[in-house]
Structure 1
């Protein structure tokens, strides 16, 4: 990424419309319910394509991480191809990073796909949605996938807390909130200390669990996506301003929440001025490994001529 030009990095952006395959209307009821829940108003009354999202963020000098959600096993909706997202990221590397999403129910074939996406397409992380995918994060079924992510030192993002997807549908669309209770991630963070874990969203109604895990485990972060900052719990803001100031990340959940709205509400939500750059950009730069290591910077710096020794 061109860090010199970026004012922020949005770590939670969804790919919603494929440019290489027709839409799968099987899940339209979930989209309609989510739009009603979030009050989403989109230009031309539709969700943006990946190129339109890139243009949206480039206009604002905001970098972003994009992914889809593979919930083919639990919901039966065809996913947007991970390769499509990764291809756009390769062509727009100054502003965009690709994460992949593979339903852990796909087992060894899913792990094979994950390795190919890392080695051939350069994806930098993986997105999991326990509620939509129908599994507990600490289910050993998913551990082979985590082992691969840890092998490459990448990041795993997990939806947590309440889900706007399915809200208001009969039976919640068949989705079960229990899968996204953050405490299940404590096992994952313990068993995979070399894998960065991002607990996505304010984890209501389990916010304290997420804060505790992030405080206890060095490899755990929290992204602040999916909610307007004006609705954040005081406890969340308190920890962001203090003990977890280097563990919180800006995320919008675009297109369901626009970055403009999120950033506007962020300014008056009670975050300290000295903390804002950390949350908006610097923490993501460090977690994603976007800045060169201090040793590399020192090694590439020109060697200054030796100063003459002057007797006192």
Structure 2
């Protein structure tokens, strides 16, 4: 990947439909998240469509699905197929894998295969959707495998639009995505890079504290339009955490062009912008 040919790296891009027409979530959850984000656009672009969208904008994209098979009963998209398809777009796409933590040793073995055999550059977890407490030691062998492979782990944190507005939130529990659970993981695996996805509302201060305290913890800024960022996050992103925060959109729910337009309106020092948009991500992903 030619970093000089890129203006930015989007660290949070969902693949919600594969080449066979299968979708990452059932229709009720897709509709609920679309309503939550007030998203009227196509929620199911193919990987080729994602590549074209981002290539036209000179932005690299970290692409992934979420394997929540055990928690939801919905068959996951194949991380192997996503990685194979992304290999046709190495100029613009960076594949992440996803494994179901409830699969135990099988998840560990699959994670290792995804790195060694398919070239994934990191892993995505969604504790609320996958229904697991990330600091439960049952999942530590999985983190050990990722640390050994030298790839980052990206965890959803805070509120989620998945299940929002449905009775009981469709059983999805927000407490699993409290970033303080990941403080344990980051402390116990100092060699593992942990990325806290999204403004972590209602735990924003906790996320800032963790990223300030732990050298191996970063924050991606996806899932919110920057004009709605909590003010303490804006201050940290432009100051103490300017080398620890990453551009992310949450495409297709939020497009990179909308995110970037709103980001331009934030009161940040000029020196922080290139760090947030590209340089920090290049370092975390091992591209620099």
TM normalised by structure 2 equals 0.98
2:177 is aligned with 1:171: no
Per-residue deviation, 1:241: 1.0
2:266 is aligned with 1:264: no
Show the counterpart of 1:30: 29
Q: Is the 8 A contact 2:127 2:133 kept in 1?
A: yes
2:208 is aligned with 1:211: yes
Per-residue deviation, 1:42: 1.5
Show the counterpart of 1:300: none
Per-residue deviation, 1:183: 0.3
Show the counterpart of 1:70: 67
Q: Which runs of 5+ in 2 are unaligned?
A: none
C-alpha change, 1:212 and 1:25, in structure 2 (3 Å) is: closer
Show the counterpart of 1:81: 78
Show the counterpart of 1:306: none
Per-residue deviation, 1:53: 0.5
Q: Is the 8 A contact 2:226 2:262 kept in 1?
A: yes
Show the counterpart of 1:294: none
2:186 is aligned with 1:183: no
Per-residue deviation, 1:212: 0.4
Q: Deviations over 1:277-299 (max 9, x none)?
A: 000000001111102xxxxxxxx
Distance in 2 separating the partners of 1:116 and 1:190: 26
**Structure 1: 4+ residue segments shifted above 4 A:** none
2:210 is aligned with 1:243: no
Per-residue deviation, 1:25: 8.9
Max Rg structure: 1
Root mean square deviation, CA, Å? 1.1
2:205 is aligned with 1:234: no
Q: Is the 8 A contact 2:16 2:25 kept in 1?
A: no
Q: Is the 8 A contact 2:158 2:199 kept in 1?
A: yes
Distance in 1 separating the partners of 2:216 and 2:201: 21
Q: Which runs of 5+ in 1 are unaligned?
A: 292-312
Show the counterpart of 1:16: 16
2:28 is aligned with 1:50: no
Distance in 2 separating the partners of 1:88 and 1:176: 33
Show the counterpart of 2:129: 132
SS in 1 for 2:115: helix
Show the counterpart of 2:198: 201
Q: Is the 8 A contact 1:50 1:85 kept in 2?
A: yes
Distance in 2 separating the partners of 1:15 and 1:25: 7
Q: Deviations over 1:242-267 (max 9, x none)?
A: 11110000000000111111000000
C-alpha change, 1:284 and 1:238, in structure 2 (3 Å) is: same
Distance in 2 separating the partners of 1:22 and 1:4: 35
Q: Is the 8 A contact 1:58 1:95 kept in 2?
A: yes
Per-residue deviation, 1:23: 2.3
Distance in 2 separating the partners of 1:18 and 1:141: 31
Per-residue deviation, 1:26: 7.1
C-alpha change, 1:49 and 1:277, in structure 2 (3 Å) is: same
TM normalised by structure 1 equals 0.90
Matches within 5 A, 1:113-128: 113-128=110-125
SS in 1 for 2:66: coil
Per-residue deviation, 1:137: 1.1
Distance in 1 separating the partners of 2:23 and 2:258: 29
Per-residue deviation, 1:89: 2.1
SS in 1 for 2:62: strand
Q: Is the 8 A contact 1:24 1:77 kept in 2?
A: no
Distance in 2 separating the partners of 1:273 and 1:25: 38
